[in-house]
Structure 1
Amino acid sequence: MDDIKENSIHHMTVKICEELNKSPHYNKLFEDIQKLVITPSVKAEDFKNSLLKAMQDNGLEAQLKNTIYRFVKSKKKEVNSYDAFFRKCQIHWDKRIHKSLNSMCNELGINLAKPRITSDKEEISNKWTELSNYEVNIQKYRPVYAPKDFLEVLLNLKGPPDEKCTEGNSGWQFSQIPLKVKNLGDLRSFYSELSRGEHILTATNSLIMTSSFALFEEERISLGEKVLSKNYAPIAQEFLKKGCPRCLRAKMWTLLLGSDVRDYELKYFQMLKDHVLQYDLMIDKLIIKDITLTASNDDQYFVFEDVLFQVMLCFSRDSEVLKNLPSQPSFMQVVVKGKTGASENNTTTIVFPPSGVIPFHGFSMYAAPFCYIYDNPVDLYFSFRAFYLRYWHRLHRVCGNSQGIVSLCLQFEKLLQCFDPLLWNHFKKYNIPPLRLVIKWIMRAFSGHLPPEQLLSLWDLVLAYDSLEIVSLLAVAILIFRRDNLMKVSTLQNIEAVLADLSSIAVVPLLQMALMKDV
């Protein structure tokens, strides 16, 4: 048994070393360690121990540990016996999306990709910091799909063959999907700080400026600064469980996500910008249309539309996104003909889109809340990208992962039945699938639905517990909270009206009530 354990540790160590070698920051880390080795603090007669001590004193040990921590977070893989089934479903869905894109291009008489003409390139370059003034006709463009369309795909999953499956529910609920999800007892144990009703710093209690709150906030800021001085991601993750002061959120998230910006990131972002200037992608209009329909029309986010244009256009060009997704989506390859750079008749084949991600209606809202945390577009970009690669990609792709949209929908249904069978039966009586009411919340992790401060408190918890299951739990808690009004109405339109405004929702107290509630 010890031999097996040793081999496993050795295999993991080799894997981590290989990944470190590929990291863009490896050379800088190696150079820093080399410089440390020649200092008097590293002694030849006790090389190993003195080097480790010197690395610890100079912060390199924490840097290395954080790299390993993030590697484990990003590479952890759940093995599911139904992975092949879900992968097949996602490939089928990708083909439908690609067909829709091609149909739109044929309908509008445009190309998926082409080199930008000089005047267009110059206009975008000149208006880069105010892209809301960039004039482009997006009237005829339409979102490829919306959350309700994706829900239809999910509800029509027949489910892999399993004799335990319930038959006849397809099209209304998810019980035909044989995935294991946490029950209420599991969630209470997992979210122990919430279920114990511990004092958590939130935007809600900050509105009540009592002396006790001021003292608690001061304590949290002081503790948070100590955590940041340690520069160790696992400690930052624990810190977030009790809430994060606004003034420290940017640094905490950057530490946890490993999204700090150095020379490499600055050059990489410039490269993405250059790609935006060089190629006119059909997806650019979809992104502009999406931001125009969502963030630009939102009282909380319209002031950030220029930054969002920069971030989302660069994201569409980021091939690292495609490389780092756990299961790469299907993608198209497009031949681009025409004048590019110095060549008059250059022919280039590019992946469309380079990121592999086709945005749905509301996709840009994954990035919008980061505008409240980061002032610099480059800092914002790399934290958003890290968040997407760790969490958000699972919310609009068919997969069997416990953090994926299928599992979250199934968990929502089971929790609602557990919490309130009468409300569940009320929906069933009038043939209104509860998921139709909450899919837009779950797919966007409530972005654009909750006030920004409440939303950021929710996303603090996503990071703190490294889990998206809190999203399903909150969706159930909101329905229970609005139960009395929901029981009085019997049409989809009226039920949606009851749930339309979430501006009064206090996230943490509501989650605590749900986890502490007797069922």
Structure 2
Amino acid sequence: MDDMKDKSIHFTAERLTEEIKKMSSYKNFYSEIQKMVSSTCVKQSNFKETLLEAIRQAGMETELRNTVFHWIRSHNNYDCVNGYPLKEPLAYLRKAQLQWEKRVHKSLNSMCSELGVALARLRLASDKDELIEKWTELSTYDIDLSQYRPVYAPKDFLEVLMWIRSPNYHTMDTGGNWDFTHIPLKVKSLNELRMLYQEISRGEPLLGVNPYMGSTTSNFPTLEVERTVLGEKVIESNHAPVAQEFLKKGCPRGLRGHMWAQVLGASLKPTHHDYFNELKYYVLQYDLLVDKLIIKDVQLTASNDDQYFVYEDVLYQVMLCFSRDTEVLSIFHHSASNPFHAVLKNKQPTIENTVVFPPSGIIPFHGFTMYATPFLYLYDDPVAVYHTFRAFYMRYLFRLHEVSSHQQGILCLCLLFEKLLQRHESQLWFHFKHIKIQPARVVFKWLMRGFSGYLPPEQLLYLWDLVLAYDSLEVLPLLAVAILSFRKDNLLQVETLANVEAVLADLSSLKVMPLLQLALLRD
């Protein structure tokens, strides 16, 4: 057994070494090591010890530890066979995802045909000049989008999910697509969630519960001051696992940007500005169909939101650059989905003439741009917004719009929501059954957008603190159940979907942390 363990560690170490060599930061790291070896602080007579000490003193040991931490986290995010990523293992879900992709691609192609536009073309010189001139105020960019429509909306995706059936699971219920119990996937119980979110379930002092909560020690006037002092030390240490642990009790707003970037490995470097400018160049050079879809989506969502409309210009920059980012394609190595491929104009349909569209592989849907809006509250620099958002999307958010059996996928989150509601709010569950309204239909838009655009920004940031802290999206369905429980008395008095949605339309008065504590502390 020890021999097998040693081989496994050796195999992992070899693979980690090879992948670090492929990282963009490796060349600079290796160059710094070479300079260090030739410096006076490294002694030939005691080479190993003095080199390791020099690496520690320069902060490079912490950088290397963070690199390993991010690599392990990213590789724990999907199933593997012999150390290599495995796409969706269940055949019926693979089939459902492929059918969904065909439907989305057909919708995209139909839009091109109806409007007489190409998926991509070189941008006209006049259009390019206008875009350069208005880059920092893209909300004034004049373009007619009246004929464009979202490729799909969350409700379209929900309909597809509700009709998925496992061939190995038969139910006596002939009521049609009522819930997700016909998909036999394992999800956590409330007790298992308590074990995961221990700091919350134990009722420990948390930021976001009471702004005037006293400090846990006599050295600070409030908990927020205590957390701020501690948080500054965490940031100074620059150690990603410590930053992740710190987030479990909430983060002071002034430190959140640094903390998130540390946990996600997205701390700003000079190369990030160069990369963002390169993406900007491609935005100016090429006119893509998804540009119109992105601009239309911002107009339909963030532009009409009192909390986000002031950040509209930066949001355009971030999302247009995101559509050109080929780094995002790496998620398809372990994602259940596949990027859309298009044949170059006037070329034969061969592999050589086929390209991924858009370059990021992600086709935006209605509400997609809201994934980036919380990051606008964290940074003044669009480059910092971009790289932290991209890291968060590639770690978590892509799972919210694909058909997958992954525990962090939207199917499992819906199933977790239903099981928690049925088990712990049975009166509400049977009320929904009586009035013939699927519970998932009520909360699906919250789950698919990670509550972005539904919760006030400050509360949403506390929620996403927990996503990062516990490396899990399972807090989303837990909060959804807590909200329904909180509005239970009103929900039991209404009997139509419109009235149910009216009861749940305004979440602006809700506080995330107290609701989650109540949900986890319940009997």
**TM value normalised by structure 1:** 0.94
Tell me, yes or no, if the aligned pair for 2:215 and 2:226 is still in contact at 8 Å. no
Alignment of 1:55 with 2:55, yes or no, is yes
Structure 2: how far apart are the matches of 1:13 and 1:166? 50
| DSSP 3-state at the match of 1:333 | strand
Instruction: Show the counterpart of 1:405.
Output: 410
Instruction: Show the counterpart of 2:224.
Output: 217
Deviation of 1:348 (Å):
8.2
Question: Is there any run of 5+ residues in structure 1 with no aligned partner, and where?
Answer: 339-346
Deviation of 1:414 (Å):
0.1
Structure 2: how far apart are the matches of 1:352 and 1:146? 19
Alignment of 1:66 with 2:71, yes or no, is no
Instruction: State the AA in 2 paired with 1:60.
Output: M
Instruction: Give CA deviations for 1:99-130 in whole Å, capped at 9, x if unaligned.
Output: 00111111111111111110001110110000
Instruction: Show the counterpart of 2:454.
Output: 449
Alignment of 1:6 with 2:11, yes or no, is no
> How many residue pairs align between the two structures?
507
Tell me, yes or no, if the aligned pair for 2:256 and 2:378 is still in contact at 8 Å. yes
Tell me, yes or no, if the aligned pair for 1:160 and 1:177 is still in contact at 8 Å. no
| DSSP 3-state at the match of 1:114 | strand
Deviation of 1:246 (Å):
0.8
Tell me, yes or no, if the aligned pair for 1:457 and 1:508 is still in contact at 8 Å. yes
Instruction: State the AA in 2 paired with 1:198.
Output: E
Deviation of 1:75 (Å):
1.9
Instruction: Show the counterpart of 1:385.
Output: 390
Instruction: State the AA in 1 paired with 2:495.
Output: S
Deviation of 1:324 (Å):
3.2
| DSSP 3-state at the match of 1:246 | coil
Instruction: Show the counterpart of 2:168.
Output: 161
Structure 1: how far apart are the matches of 2:139 and 2:233? 41
Tell me, yes or no, if the aligned pair for 1:322 and 1:329 is still in contact at 8 Å. no
Instruction: Show the counterpart of 1:193.
Output: 199
| DSSP 3-state at the match of 2:199 | helix
Q: Kindly tell me: are residues 51 and 170 of structure 1, through their superposed partners in 2, closer, same or farther at Cα, counting changes over 3 Å? A: farther
Instruction: Show the counterpart of 1:343.
Output: none
Instruction: State the AA in 2 paired with 1:335.
Output: L
Greater CA drift, 54-63 or 500-509: 54-63
- Picking from 172, 182, 188, the partner of 1:176 is 182
Deviation of 1:82 (Å):
4.2
Deviation of 1:209 (Å):
8.0
Structure 2: how far apart are the matches of 1:12 and 1:51? 25
Instruction: Show the counterpart of 1:300.
Output: 307
Alignment of 1:96 with 2:103, yes or no, is yes
Structure 1: how far apart are the matches of 2:214 and 2:255? 21
Structure 2: how far apart are the matches of 1:146 and 1:166? 31
Greater CA drift, 274-283 or 438-447: 274-283
Tell me, yes or no, if the aligned pair for 2:339 and 2:356 is still in contact at 8 Å. no
Greater CA drift, 328-337 or 145-154: 328-337
Deviation of 1:263 (Å):
2.9
Instruction: Show the counterpart of 1:335.
Output: 344
Alignment of 1:84 with 2:85, yes or no, is no
Structure 2: how far apart are the matches of 1:166 and 1:229? 59
Deviation of 1:211 (Å):
8.5
Instruction: Show the counterpart of 1:488.
Output: 493
Q: 1:243-392 residue pairs with structure 2 within 5 A?
A: 243-325=250-332, 326-327=334-335, 329-336=338-345, 350-392=355-397
Tell me, yes or no, if the aligned pair for 1:114 and 1:337 is still in contact at 8 Å. no
- Picking from 144, 147, 152, the partner of 1:140 is 147
Instruction: Give CA deviations for 1:341-374 in whole Å, capped at 9, x if unaligned.
Output: xxxxxx9864211111111110000001100001
Instruction: Show the counterpart of 1:123.
Output: 130
Structure 2: how far apart are the matches of 1:23 and 1:211? 42
Structure 2: how far apart are the matches of 1:211 and 1:191? 21
Instruction: State the AA in 2 paired with 1:175.
Output: T
Instruction: Give CA deviations for 1:212-250 in whole Å, capped at 9, x if unaligned.
Output: 895211111111111111111011111000110111101
Instruction: Show the counterpart of 1:341.
Output: none
Q: Kindly tell me: are residues 121 and 209 of structure 1, through their superposed partners in 2, closer, same or farther at Cα, counting changes over 3 Å? A: same
Structure 1: how far apart are the matches of 2:269 and 2:291? 27
Instruction: State the AA in 2 paired with 1:133.
Output: T
Structure 1: how far apart are the matches of 2:477 and 2:399? 14
Tell me, yes or no, if the aligned pair for 2:341 and 2:354 is still in contact at 8 Å. no
Question: Is there any run of 5+ residues in structure 2 with no aligned partner, and where?
Answer: 81-85
Alignment of 1:110 with 2:146, yes or no, is no
Instruction: State the AA in 2 paired with 1:356.
Output: G
Structure 2: how far apart are the matches of 1:254 and 1:372? 14
Instruction: State the AA in 2 paired with 1:12.
Output: T
Instruction: Show the counterpart of 1:21.
Output: 21
Q: Kindly tell me: are residues 324 and 51 of structure 1, through their superposed partners in 2, closer, same or farther at Cα, counting changes over 3 Å? A: farther
Q: Kindly tell me: are residues 357 and 458 of structure 1, through their superposed partners in 2, closer, same or farther at Cα, counting changes over 3 Å? A: same
Structure 2: how far apart are the matches of 1:39 and 1:495? 70
Instruction: State the AA in 1 paired with 2:342.
Output: Q
Instruction: Give CA deviations for 1:16-66 in whole Å, capped at 9, x if unaligned.
Output: 111111111101111111122223332333322332222122110110010
Greater CA drift, 31-40 or 488-497: 31-40
Structure 2: how far apart are the matches of 1:58 and 1:476? 48
Tell me, yes or no, if the aligned pair for 1:249 and 1:373 is still in contact at 8 Å. yes
Alignment of 1:463 with 2:472, yes or no, is no
Instruction: State the AA in 1 paired with 2:515.
Output: L
Deviation of 1:86 (Å):
2.1
Structure 2: how far apart are the matches of 1:226 and 1:416? 40
Q: Kindly tell me: are residues 209 and 201 of structure 1, through their superposed partners in 2, closer, same or farther at Cα, counting changes over 3 Å? A: closer
Identity among equivalent positions (%) equals 57
Tell me, yes or no, if the aligned pair for 1:333 and 1:350 is still in contact at 8 Å. yes
Structure 2: how far apart are the matches of 1:231 and 1:291? 35
Greater CA drift, 290-299 or 264-273: 264-273
| DSSP 3-state at the match of 2:263 | helix
Structure 2: how far apart are the matches of 1:262 and 1:166? 58
Instruction: Give CA deviations for 1:130-182 in whole Å, capped at 9, x if unaligned.
Output: 0011111111111111111110010011124246x665465110001111000
Structure 2: how far apart are the matches of 1:457 and 1:285? 32
Greater CA drift, 317-326 or 38-47: 38-47
Instruction: State the AA in 1 paired with 2:401.
Output: H
Instruction: Show the counterpart of 2:83.
Output: none
Instruction: State the AA in 1 paired with 2:11.
Output: H
Structure 1: how far apart are the matches of 2:92 and 2:270? 42
Instruction: State the AA in 2 paired with 1:192.
Output: Q
Tell me, yes or no, if the aligned pair for 2:243 and 2:263 is still in contact at 8 Å. yes
Tell me, yes or no, if the aligned pair for 2:214 and 2:223 is still in contact at 8 Å. no
Structure 1: how far apart are the matches of 2:194 and 2:214? 30
| DSSP 3-state at the match of 2:268 | coil
Deviation of 1:282 (Å):
0.8
Structure 2: how far apart are the matches of 1:372 and 1:337? 45
Deviation of 1:444 (Å):
0.5
Q: Kindly tell me: are residues 142 and 236 of structure 1, through their superposed partners in 2, closer, same or farther at Cα, counting changes over 3 Å? A: same
Structure 2: how far apart are the matches of 1:139 and 1:118? 23
Q: 1:227-242 residue pairs with structure 2 within 5 A?
A: 227-242=234-249
Q: Kindly tell me: are residues 414 and 3 of structure 1, through their superposed partners in 2, closer, same or farther at Cα, counting changes over 3 Å? A: same
| DSSP 3-state at the match of 1:136 | coil
Instruction: Show the counterpart of 1:41.
Output: 41
